[in-house]
């Protein structure tokens, strides 16, 4: 019994769901208001003890504490947090009829309501007793993404071209959340990486030598490697740089175009103008489009990414290659395409074909074989020469490339102005300039000790014969390695629970922007008004309306729904080539982000996450979903809001490819895997791991044809059954989606030629609700689990924005937030504002 009991609310402090309690009340024909009246059973404490004695202690007594739960000593009133937790657990298990087990004597509905009512009253009575014992956020360092965002904000320039965190230790998360202080540990190795990153950033951006603009012009020697080299020499004499496939393919033949005579890269970091004389070749080819797996109705695109010959093969993917610019390539004749891009010292521009053919080698082989009669001298296999000379092989052809830079910037550039002001570095004012920058970097007024350290290091470097500017740059590196910069340190005294203004400003800006406070927020902190609820709410709304709040949307969804893991378990290329050819992970994440962003902007109901008659798709997702918009949307249209009224296969989070992909393992699907995902991320309940003695799913499933049959055999063991009866119903309906979210009615045909099994998407919850398919499954969640979902979303918002997991004593305020959100029709914007103005968020 206890495994099922523990699963139902493994987050032991979670309160009973209002809808579930109402269900019990309806079943027992007791008016809903009766449970809230003060006129309770005068023998309430005895009633609880009698209930436990009759229905629970056989399994959960002193000698038989299944699941390590001993209720023999449980009594009212509640005197400790462990007792409070136990009360919550009993409430939830009794309400959802997960306890007692089916094969045990069952209490009547009246008995269930009576014991739940008394326990709820006891929990509420204990509020004041435990309200002051809430947890505190551990002082945490910036996460890697916050670190790079902070540097980009301080220096007013993108820093992803440097790859500053590429060699940092892999970020640790806690339940997928990357803002938890206890998980963001710092090691000696990481400290060394911080110093190297600061040194590299400062020297490449501010310590670079003065360099006059130069011009380069390349018209030949466009050498390409491996199997491309000989055909290009024979047919083109290396006169053209050609792109044949999208980047990041398995074969990597023509996905990256580099300049052979510019492998040394640019001399210094800076802005560079790049002109490319290019043409889209054979977009009107008569070859079967299925060979190339691209949409020839879409114009070819050319992109620019950085490359570094010292970091690996120049024609292969590299760790640091953000897209610096894109353009549409003309069909009729070559035209000059212009890009202004930022390149770091030693980086050389490389060119990519983002919507190019999928795996060039395979398409060349297929074309040679299928259209051999059209060639004068056909060859079997990979014969690019024949196709380039006589055929119509789709590709992008570049004939000339011009590079000019570094471009002179007003005031010495963004970094110079960010650190030293509009007038640039002045030796006589160096310390003052460093103080001003440090105040922005530390996100608070400087203390005397801060000024002393800064000035002392600057003077020390001067005494070591450093030039004034170099001394200032070395001091700048120290500032960027200071705990006051790397950590969200609190200057609020330890004996104060509520955050002071500057600490509150930092917590708010990193919650919504993943970046430092701007001047307006700092001004509110300086005035002291930020701690006033009205001013705090004003600033929250201002930050939300800023485009930088996209960082909150991205970061929160990566944590709540674990979207950052999309791609960790990719599907086989042959089974889901669209996933790679159309770069679907990007579109998948974008849909979910736009959906969330729309609810936040319009204060839409969070119940839309459970089911909705609309979503946001681009052309690629419309095709994956089989929506009619696949015939009308163009790639240039980007994402559009679409109606799902006639597409019941979609709607809400569970109909989105992002969720369906991250909840699968890439190769196949499982009701268990997806059921656990729904339990954890939608309902907020983490199932316990299976005991060591529970057999694996494949232990004894001989004769089973479908996953449902396998689970039935697996769950014949009562040890397995108690967990699976709660997990599996959350996953059965999602079996109608394959590992990347495509709709299906049958499983893949197994090897051996046997018939593909039909999918049965029906199921039944342990609490009695049943469903027939995906549509009715969502309705059960919406009608019977709405409150569980809403409370979990509130909890996740609090966890993400405060940097700590919620504890039992936080539940009282979560209940208060829930009440206010419910009163405003479950508005998403209302929920976030309530979270960010809550006492939990404003406290240490």
Q: 327-346 pLDDT, tens per residue?
A: 999 999 999 999 999 999 99
Is residue 112 predicted with pLDDT exceeding 60?
A: yes
pTM: predicted TM-score of the whole model, two decimal places: 0.84
Domain finish residue from 466, 489, 512: 489
Q: Is residue 27 part of a domain?
A: yes
Domain finish residue from 109, 133, 157: 133
**Domain tally for the chain?**
5
> For the residues 40-51, what does the mean pLDDT come to?
64
Residues 222 and 356 in one domain: yes
Q: What percent of the chain has pLDDT over 90?
A: 64
Per-residue model confidence as pLDDT tens digits over 435-453: 999 999 999 999 999 999 9
Q: What is the pLDDT of residue 609?
A: 98
Scanning 143-187, the segments in alpha helix (DSSP H) are 144-155
> For the residues 236-246, what does the mean pLDDT come to?
95
> For the residues 216-235, what does the mean pLDDT come to?
93
- CB count in 10 Å sphere of residue 406: 22
Interatomic CA distance for residues 462 and 427, integer angstroms: 11
180 and 140 Cβ atoms separated by less than 8 Å: yes
Interatomic CA distance for residues 176 and 562, integer angstroms: 6
Residues 776 and 791 in one domain: no
Q: Is residue 262 part of a domain?
A: yes
Q: What is the pLDDT of residue 105?
A: 76
CATH of residue 222's domain is 2.60.120.260
Q: What is the pLDDT of residue 22?
A: 33
For the chain, how are helix, strand and coil distributed in percent, rounded to 5? 50, 10, 40
Residues 812 and 779 in one domain: no
Domain finish residue from 354, 373, 407: 407
Q: Is residue 511 part of a domain?
A: no
Confidence of residue 717 (pLDDT cuts 50, 70, 90): low
Q: What is the pLDDT of residue 692?
A: 52
Q: Is residue 516 part of a domain?
A: no
> For the residues 263-281, what does the mean pLDDT come to?
97
Q: In terms of pLDDT, which residue wins out, 19 or 429? A: 429
Residues 167 and 22 in one domain: no
Residues 42 and 97 in one domain: yes
Q: Is residue 479 part of a domain?
A: yes
Check the CA dihedral 467-469-473-478 and report its sign.
positive
Q: What is the pLDDT of residue 652?
A: 96
In what side-by-side order are the strands of the sheet with 348-352? 325-328, 301-307, 348-352
Q: Residue 744 — left, alpha, or beta (φ > 0 → left; ψ -120 to 50 → alpha)?
A: beta
Is residue 716 predicted with pLDDT exceeding 90?
A: no
Residues 244 and 366 in one domain: yes
Residues 262 and 199 in one domain: no
201-210, 329-338, 657-666, 682-691: least confidently modelled range = 682-691
State the residue range of the domain holding 755. Answer: 663-783
Residues 774 and 792 in one domain: no
Q: What is the pLDDT of residue 766?
A: 80
Residues 205 and 240 in one domain: no
157 and 49 Cβ atoms separated by less than 8 Å: no
Residues 122 and 154 in one domain: no
Residues 282 and 181 in one domain: no
At 326, phi and psi to the nearest 5? -140, 160
> For the residues 649-669, what does the mean pLDDT come to?
93
Residue indicated by tokens 């210094």: 268
Q: Is residue 515 part of a domain?
A: no
């Amino acid at each position: 019994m206890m495994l099922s009991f523990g699963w139902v609310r493994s987050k032991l402090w979670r309160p009973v769901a209002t809808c579930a309690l109402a269900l019990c009340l309806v079943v027992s024909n007791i008016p809903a208001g009766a449970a809230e009246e003060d006129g309770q059973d005068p023998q309430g404490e005895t009633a609880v003890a009698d209930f436990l004695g009759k229905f629970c202690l056989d399994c959960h007594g002193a000698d038989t504490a299944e699941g390590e739960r001993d209720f023999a000593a449980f009594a009212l009133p509640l005197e400790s947090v462990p007792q409070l937790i136990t009360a919550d657990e009993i409430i939830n298990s009794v309400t959802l009829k997960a306890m007692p087990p089916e094969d045990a004597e069952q209490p009547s509905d009246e008995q269930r309501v009576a014991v739940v009512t008394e326990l709820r009253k006891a929990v509420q009575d204990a509020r004041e007793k435990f309200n002051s014992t809430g947890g505190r956020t551990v002082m945490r360092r910036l996460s890697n993404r916050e670190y790079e965002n902070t540097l980009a904000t301080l220096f007013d320039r993108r820093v992803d071209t440097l790859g500053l965190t590429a060699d940092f230790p892999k970020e640790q998360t806690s339940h997928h959340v990357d803002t938890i202080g206890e998980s963001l540990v710092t090691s000696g190795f990481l400290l060394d990486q911080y110093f190297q990153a600061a040194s590299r950033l400062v020297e490449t951006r501010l310590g670079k030598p003065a360099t006059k603009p130069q011009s380069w012009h390349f018209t030949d020697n466009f050498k390409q490697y491996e199997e491309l080299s000989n055909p290009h020499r024979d047919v083109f004499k290396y006169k053209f740089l050609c792109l044949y496939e999208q980047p990041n393919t398995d074969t990597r033949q023509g996905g990256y175009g580099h300049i052979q005579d510019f492998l040394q890269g640019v001399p210094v970091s800076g802005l560079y103008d790049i002109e490319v004389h290019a043409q889209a070749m054979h977009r009107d080819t008569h070859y079967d489009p299925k060979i190339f797996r691209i949409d020839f109705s879409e114009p070819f695109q050319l992109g620019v990414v950085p490359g570094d010959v010292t970091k690996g093969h120049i024609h292969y993917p590299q760790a640091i290659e953000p897209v610096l610019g894109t353009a549409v390539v003309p069909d009729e004749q070559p035209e000059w395409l212009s890009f202004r891009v930022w390149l770091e010292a030693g980086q050389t521009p490389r060119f990519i074909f983002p919507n190019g053919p999928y795996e060039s080698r395979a398409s060349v082989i297929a074309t040679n074989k299928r259209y051999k009669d059209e060639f004068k001298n056909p060859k079997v296999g990979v014969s690019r020469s024949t196709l380039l000379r006589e055929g119509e092989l789709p590709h992008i052809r570049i004939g000339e490339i011009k590079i000019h830079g570094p471009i002179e910037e007003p005031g010495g550039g963004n970094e110079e102005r960010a650190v030293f002001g509009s007038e640039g570095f002045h030796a006589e004012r160096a310390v003052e300039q460093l103080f001003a920058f440090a105040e922005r970097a530390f996100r608070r007024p400087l203390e005397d000790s801060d000024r002393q350290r800064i000035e002392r290091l600057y003077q020390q470097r001067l005494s070591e014969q450093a030039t004034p500017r170099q001394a200032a740059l070395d001091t700048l590196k120290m500032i960027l390695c200071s705990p006051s910069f790397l950590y969200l340190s609190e200057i609020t005294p330890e004996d104060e629970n509520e955050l002071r203004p500057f600490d509150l400003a930092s917590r708010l800006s990193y919650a919504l922007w993943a970046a430092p406070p701007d001047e307006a927020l700092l001004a509110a902190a300086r005035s002291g008004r930020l701690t006033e609820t009205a001013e705090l709410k004003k600033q929250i709304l201002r930050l939300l309306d800023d485009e930088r709040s996209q960082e909150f949307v991205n970061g929160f969804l990566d944590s709540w729904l674990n979207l950052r893991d999309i791609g960790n378990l990719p599907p086989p290329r042959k089974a889901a080539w669209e996933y790679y050819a159309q770069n679907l992970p990007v579109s998948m994440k974008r849909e979910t982000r736009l959906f969330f962003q729309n609810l936040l902007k319009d204060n839409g109901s969070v119940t839309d996450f459970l089911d909705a008659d609309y979503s946001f798709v681009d052309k690629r997702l419309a095709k994956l979903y089989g929506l009619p918009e696949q015939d009308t949307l163009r790639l240039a249209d980007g994402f559009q809001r679409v109606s799902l009224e006639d597409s019941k296969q979609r709607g809400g989070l569970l109909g989105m490819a992002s969720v369906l992909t991250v909840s699968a393992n890439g190769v196949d699907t499982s009701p268990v895997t997806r059921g656990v995902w729904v339990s954890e991320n939608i309902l907020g309940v983490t199932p316990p791991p299976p005991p060591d003695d529970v057999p694996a799913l494949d232990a004894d499933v001989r004769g089973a044809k479908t996953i449902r049959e396998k689970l039935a055999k697996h769950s014949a063991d009562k040890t397995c059954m108690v967990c699976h009866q709660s997990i599996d119903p959350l996953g059965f309906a999602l079996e109608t989606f394959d590992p990347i979210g495509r709709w299906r009615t049958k499983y893949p045909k197994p090897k051996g030629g046997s018939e593909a099994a039909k999918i049965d998407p029906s199921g039944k919850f342990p609490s009695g609700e049943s469903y027939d398919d995906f549509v009715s499954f969502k309705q059960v969640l919406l009608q019977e689990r709405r409150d569980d979902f809403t409370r979990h979303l509130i909890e996740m918002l609090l966890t993400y924005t405060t940097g700590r997991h919620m504890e039992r004593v936080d539940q009282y305020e979560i209940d208060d937030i829930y009440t206010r959100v419910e009163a405003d029709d479950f508005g998403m914007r209302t929920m976030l504002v309530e979270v960010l103005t809550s006492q939990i968020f404003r406290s240490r």
